Every structure is written in structure tokens, then in C-alpha cells.
Amino acid sequence: MSTASRLLMSALSLLALMLVWQVAAWWAASPLLPGPAAVLAAMMRAAEGGALQRNIAITLARVAASFIIAMLLGSAIGIALGRSPRLNELLGPWVIVLLNLPALVIIILCYVWFGLTEAAAITAVSINKIPNVAVTMREGAAALSRDLDEMARVYRLGRWKLLRHVTLPQLVPFFTASARSGLALTWKIVLVVELLGRSNGVGFELQTAFQMFDVALVLAYALAFTAVVQLIEIGLLQPWERRVNRWRR
Amino acid sequence: MSAIGIHIMGKQFPARAGAPAREIFRDFRLDVAAGEFLVLLGASGLGKTTLLNIIAGLDAEYRGAIRFAGAPPRIAYAFQSPRLLPWRTVLENVALVLPSGTEGQEAARAMLADVGLAELADAYPERLSLGQQRRVALARAFVMRPDLLLMDEPFVSLDTASARRLRDLLRRLIIQHPATVLFVTHDSREAAALASRIVRLEGTPVHIARDVRVELGVTERGSPARLQAFLSDAGLAEPEALSGGA
Ligand SMILES: Nc1ncnc2c1ncn2[C@@H]1O[C@H](COP(=O)(O)OP(=O)(O)OP(=O)(O)O)[C@@H](O)[C@H]1O
Ligand SMILES: [Mg+2]
């Protein structure tokens, strides 16, 4: 299928979803299930004073900060574990424990120990994401090609060339995989973190709207934020993936 | 230039999932003179690649020593498989072994032209045929002007014309920049065409069955009949070569 026809299909599919939503709203005829028009109106109202944009920007900044920290630390830990079987035996179980700790527990502990601060919020989100990244990157680091490593040794490539031309390119597929699932996970957890301990951001606004049973505002924030995240995915992540994969047949 | 003293007291591969332990070398000695073109002949699975890996310093799990006269040589190794970086272009793969900079790029480009791949410089290796990938690997080995050149069946899967062209190129390069060459092949005709010395390996553990000096002129090396005669005289003609084996 061509890109154009794929886009058309997606648009049609989304349109159908809107239609179903509209019909359901008519049928329910309740402020608890507002239709697309009401949600759009709520979105405009929130955007008028700049509150919508500001809160989305704040939340995105938190997503970006914790995402970058988690990718860096998670990759470093994962690569170290993948390269050293000894280290993996020692610390592998820790990663599993962390991986299975509910996100909520980590968030609560961070707020309890570090206070209701920005640092605590970002730490909580990062810690939630680090074990996922570490596990994926460990798999990549353990599967590095011996053949290419030997080639690099014979030709005395040196540390920097080895890293840049031999090692990192082999880890790229694993890095993109964890970045992709990472973004999806991070922005969901950021909302919870904001709801529990921040006084701004999309998560905080959702909580306020919830307390007032303003479902239209909840949906307005949710849709606007999802759209922004999708744009980042399509506009940033996917082109980058295509670029690093251009050598594939 | 380097002379190499090879003494492998013991080399074995431990038993692993199904495969029994194998002793490849026991008290194996081979001295290679500086500037020698030594061709190693031997059956498949004998230990030729293992020997090159030990000399290249890739396999340290053996008892014995490899001694180089003088400073450690610059080693280039054309592996049995091309071992190119699939995510780098052909040109980048060749330039990789040179110091970064335009000078290296130019040298790499010139070497690619020499192996007949100038127009594929910007392609990615996975889009090349195996024979073309082999030539890229050879360009990478040649371009760094090595003192010691290890080549593990470098010309298999090439048609006769390309193989002959690359043999000529190899001879030319060695004249320009003298090097000691260790060259593994199954093809005794190829061995006679290139070598200054042919060593035939046999058995488990490996021993040297034949060690022959090759003193043929350029014209003789170009004549298949003359090469065949030399091989039969030296006791290196293979009956299986006639039936197209290896
Ligand atoms: N990493 C390894 N672990 C266990 N056994 C090995 C290993 N590498 C090689 N061997 C065994 O050692 C023997 C020699 O292998 P080697 O690759 O040196 O043979 P070769 O002479 O190069 O053969 P060919 O001409 O087919 O390339 C073979 O029997 C092989 O099974
Ligand atoms: Mg071999």
C-alpha cells in the first residue's frame, strides 16, 4: 500500500470512530459523555488563556527529561550487563525486581523519600523506565558480533572507531525498540506522577477536571496531548529510525 | 617486513555440546622468512583458519608462542568470510582501517578502483554479491599497506577472470610494498601461481607433510601446463583437483 492510501485509511478509520462517539453521545444525552463538538469547545476554551499549551509543554518537558535520563542510564546498565556475564549474574535479579515493581509504588516511594519536588517526579518516571531499557539493551549487547569484533582487533581500530562504527550500529535496533516503547510508557507514567504530586502539567489538570466531573475537559486534555505525542512519534522518531536503517536491503 | 617464528606446543578445542574435544596442534613449528609468500594447503577442517587466528593474535587459548622479528608487524587479515560493516558504505568500510581524513578517503577510492569496484563505492555491502564483498574485504586488507598479510581462501567464489585479476593485483601490491604473506587455499594450481613456498598440512594433530620452495618465473606461472608439471614433480598434484573437488 502506498503512503497516501495508508493515510487515507487511517483518516477514514478515525472518522468512523468520531461517528461512533457522536452517536453514543446523542444516545446517552448526558454531560458525562460529551460529543466531539463539546470536547472541541472545551479544548478551545482551555487553549484561549494558554493553559492547555502551557500544561502540555510542562508535561512534555518532564517526559523529555525522564526519557533521556532513562535511555542513558538504562543503556549504560544494559550494555554493562550484556558484556559481563559475572555482573549480569550479580545484578540481573535486581533488574527483574525493579521491572516487576508497580509504577505506583516507585512513585509513592520517591515522593515520600525526596519530597513533592520536580526532581522526585522525574526520578520516579526514570526509575520506572530504566529496567525496560536495560533489559532490551542487555539483549543487544550480548548479541554483538564476534566476527566484527575480531576484524576491529586485527585492524587496530581503536576505542572510538570501534564504538562508533562497530558497536553502536549493532545496538541501534535495540535502542530504537526501547525508545519506541519507552516514549509510550513514559508519557503515561508522567501523568500519574503529576496527578499525585505536582501542581501543574496535564496530569494535574486532568485531576482538577475529574474533581469537577468536567468530562469534556478531561477528554480535551487527553486528546490534545495524545495528538502531540503522535506528532513527535511520526515527525521525530520514525524519520530517525528510517535514517539509521537505510543500509538494510 | 617480518620474519615469524611459529611454535604451537598445544592447541585444542574443548568438547562442546555433542562435538568431542579436538587436538588441532601439538608441537607444531613453522618458520616464515621475511618477504616470503607462503601458501598453506590442507583439507577442510584441518586447522588452517585456527592457525591464522593464532598468528593474528585473535586466539590466545593455546600453549606456545608466535615470535615476530623486530617491531610488531602491521597485520591485515582477509578473513574466510568478508566481515564488512553492513551499515557503512563500501568506501567507508575500506577507509575504516586508515587514519580518518581526505587522504584516507582518496587511498580507499583508488584501491576500490584497483579491485574493480569504483562505481560501487557508495553502495552498502548487503547489496553486493558475495564475490564483490570479497573484493571489498581485499581492498580493505591491501589499502593499509601491511607488513604481514593473512589471507584465508580469499579468491573463492570469484570467476576465473576476477581471480586472475586479483592475483595480479596482489603480486603488484607486494612489489610496491613488500610484505610477508600467509595464504590459505585448497587450490594447488593457485598455490603454485603465487607462492614462493608451499606447505601442505595433514593430520590431526596437524603436521607438515610437504614443504616446497617454488622458483618459477613470471611466464611459467602464467602457464597452466607448466604449473601442473611443477605440482606433479613436487608431489603436490591432487587427484581430487581433476574431479573438480574443493
Ligand atoms: N571455536 C571453535 N570451537 C570448537 N571447535 C572449533 C572451533 N573453531 C574450529 N573448530 C574446529 O577445529 C577444526 C579446525 O577448524 P579450522 O576452521 O581451523 O579449519 P580449516 O582448516 O580452516 O577448514 P576450512 O578449510 O574448511 O576452512 C575443525 O574441526 C573445527 O570443527
Ligand atoms: Mg578455514
Residues in B lying within 8 Å of A, measured between beta carbons: 53, 56-58, 75-77, 79, 81, 83, 85-88, 92, 96-97, 124, 126-127, 140, 144
How far apart CA A192 and CA A189 sit, in angstroms, is 5
Single-letter amino acid code for the residue at A238: Q
Annotated domain spans of chain B = 4-74+147-237, 86-145
E strands present in chain B: 4-13, 22-32, 37-41, 63-68, 75-78, 148-152, 180-185, 197-202, 207-213
User: pTM above the 0.95 mark?
Assistant: no
pLDDT per residue over B122-138, tens digit each?
999 999 998 899 999 99
Q: Residue B75: its chain A contacts at CB < 8 A?
A: 154
The atom number, within ligand 1, closest to the CA of B53 reads 18
Task: Give domain status of residue A227, yes or no.
Answer: yes
Q: What is the pLDDT of residues A161-217, one digit of tens each?
A: 999 999 999 999 899 889 888 888 898 899 999 999 999 999 999 999 999 999 999
Is residue B191 within 6 Å of ligand 1 at its C-beta? no
Q: Minimal Cα–Cα distance from B143 to chain A, Å? A: 11
Separation of alpha carbons B62 and B51, rounded Å:
10
State whether B126 and A249 contact (CB < 8 Å).
yes
pLDDT digits (tens, 9 = 90+) for B38-74: 999 999 999 999 999 999 999 999 999 999 998 889 9
Query: Contact A169/B85, CB-based, under 8 Å?
Result: yes
Q: How many domains does chain A have?
A: 1
Residue A67: predicted pLDDT: 94
Which of B25, B28, B40, B48 has most ligand 1 atoms within 8 Å of CB, for mutation? B48
CATH of residue A155: 1.10.3720.10
CATH T-level assignment (fold) for domain B4-74+147-237: Rossmann fold (3.40.50)
Q: Residue A19 falls within a domain, yes or no? A: no
Q: Does A147 contact chain B (CB < 8 Å)?
A: yes
Q: What's the complex ipTM?
A: 0.89
Residue A29 lies in a domain: no
Domain that holds residue A177: 37-244
Chain A partners within 8 Å of B126 (Cβ): 247-249
Q: Which of A4, A155, A12 is nearest to B83 (CA)?
A: A155
Residue A248 and residue B96: Cβ atoms within 8 Å? no
Mean pLDDT of chain A: 91
B83 to A147: CB separation less than 8 angstroms, yes or no: yes
| pLDDT tens profile A3-37 | 788 888 888 998 999 999 999 999 988 888 999 99
For residues B60 and B24, give the distance between their C-alpha atoms in angstroms, rounded to a whole number: 14
pLDDT of residue B242: 47
Q: Distances from the Cα of B112 to the Cαs of B86, B141, B146, in angstroms?
A: 17, 11, 17
> Would you call A247 and B88 a contact, using CB atoms and an 8 Å cutoff?
yes
The tens digit of pLDDT for each residue in B205-229 reads: 999 998 999 888 888 888 888 888 8
Please tell me if residue A155 touches chain B, with a CB cutoff of 8 Å. yes
Q: Is A127 within the bounds of a domain?
A: yes
How many residue pairs from chains A and B have C-beta atoms closer than 8 A?
Answer: 48
Q: Kindly determine whether residue B79 and residue A248, on different chains, have CB atoms separated by under 8 Å.
A: no
Determine, yes or no, domain membership for A162: yes
- Closest C-alpha to ligand 1, atom 8: B50
- Which pLDDT score, from 0 to 100, does residue B239 have? 57
Residue type, A127: I
Q: Identify whether A30 is part of a domain.
A: no
CA atoms in the 13 A half-sphere facing the CB of B132: 16
Dist. CA B39 → ligand 2 center (Å): 13
Q: Say whether residue A153 is in contact with chain B using an 8 A CB cutoff.
A: yes
